[in-house]
């Protein structure tokens, strides 16, 4: 047994991942499974779920894959019941489900707001409400991890309600972390910036600058776009005992964009928080 295996304590544990078949969820499911975690995944994309099922089975991992909408409390309840029946324990919950669309706030309405809140905030409440009693019953402590976004920490023109919902997730996590701390249950968030995924490609609307290497070099201090593995590595850390004294906080696998706060590394000009005159 290696150092991480011994210290991490993940082998034989059970994790539920909502939205676990998309790019970020899939990476988290595979990386957790590679460390001995038995994963239960719920995703709305049936094809992605089947693809993940095959990938996990090919490597001999014990997993449960369900097709359904994590925003539906009854669907969530059925998933947790299936986990109870199959493994009789729960140690980790990873909430990945999220989504948005671009529009000025004044051009949106209650129907769109409700959809954004259900997708990005309310499902987290439902999942945590189902998971906490199960994790607590094990008496071993555990971990809840929410995939948030850098937009919870800065203005996001065109994404006002989405950003507000993700900020609500982070504040909810802080309070829940304090409430559950006596049980040894940690609650944390992961707030990435730009990680190329099919969802982000749709939001780009054909703007190639989002994924262009030079655009990433200018906007992201570490000079590249994020990768799914940047996020899944944080998930593994927060699920493991290596983070047993970490709760109520947010990890930022964003290459430094949260820290830079509007400073850009302009070609031939260096760092500036404004557009250099030669570009005007």
* Active centre residues (catalytic): 162
Contact between 176 and 159 under an 8 Å Cβ cutoff? The reply is: no
Q: What residues does 270 pair with on adjacent strands?
A: 266
CA–CA distance from 260 to each of 51, 63, 151, 254 (Å)?
A: 38, 40, 14, 10
When computed from its CA atoms, the radius of gyration of the chain, rounded to whole angstroms, is 19
Q: ∠ CA 265-269-271 to the nearest 5 degrees?
A: 35
CB-based contacts of 195: which residues, under 8 Å, 6+ apart? 23, 24, 225, 226, 227, 228, 230, 231
258, two tokens? 């949260």
Phi (first) and psi of residue 189, to 5 degrees: -125, 155
Regarding beta strands 14-18 and 142-147, do their DSSP bridges make them parallel or antiparallel, or are they unpaired?
A: unpaired
Provide the sign of the torsion angle of the four alpha carbons 205, 210, 211, 212, taken in this order. positive
């Amino acid at each position: 047994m290696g150092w991480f295996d011994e210290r991490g304590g993940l082998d034989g544990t059970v994790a539920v991942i909502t939205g676990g078949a998309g790019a970020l969820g899939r990476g988290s499911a595979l990386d957790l499974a590679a460390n001995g975690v038995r994963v239960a995944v719920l995703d709305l994309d049936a094809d992605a779920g089947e693809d993940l099922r095959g990938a996990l089975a090919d490597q001999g991992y014990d997993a449960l894959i369900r097709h359904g909408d994590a925003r539906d409390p009854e669907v969530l309840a059925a998933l947790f019941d299936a986990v109870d029946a199959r493994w009789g324990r729960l140690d980790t919950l990873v909430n990945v489900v999220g989504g948005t669309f671009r529009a000025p706030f004044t051009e949106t309405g209650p129907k769109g707001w409700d959809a954004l809140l259900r997708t990005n905030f309310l499902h987290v409440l439902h999942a945590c409400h189902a998971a906490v009693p199960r994790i607590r019953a094990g008496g071993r402590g555990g971990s809840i991890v929410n995939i948030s976004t850098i937009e919870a920490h800065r203005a996001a023109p065109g994404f006002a309600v989405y950003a507000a919902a993700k900020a609500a997730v982070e504040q909810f996590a802080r309070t829940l972390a304090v409430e559950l701390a006596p049980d040894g249950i940690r609650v944390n968030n992961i707030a990435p910036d730009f990680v190329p995924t099919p969802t982000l490609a749709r939001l780009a609307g054909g703007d190639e600058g989002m994924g262009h290497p030079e655009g990433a070099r200018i906007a992201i201090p570490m000079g590249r776009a994020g990768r799914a593995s940047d996020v899944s590595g944080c998930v593994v850390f927060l699920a493991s005992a290596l983070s047993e004294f970490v709760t109520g906080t947010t990890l930022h696998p964003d290459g430094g964009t949260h820290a830079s706060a509007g400073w850009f590394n302009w070609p031939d000009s260096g760092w500036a928080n404004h557009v250099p005159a030669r570009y005007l």
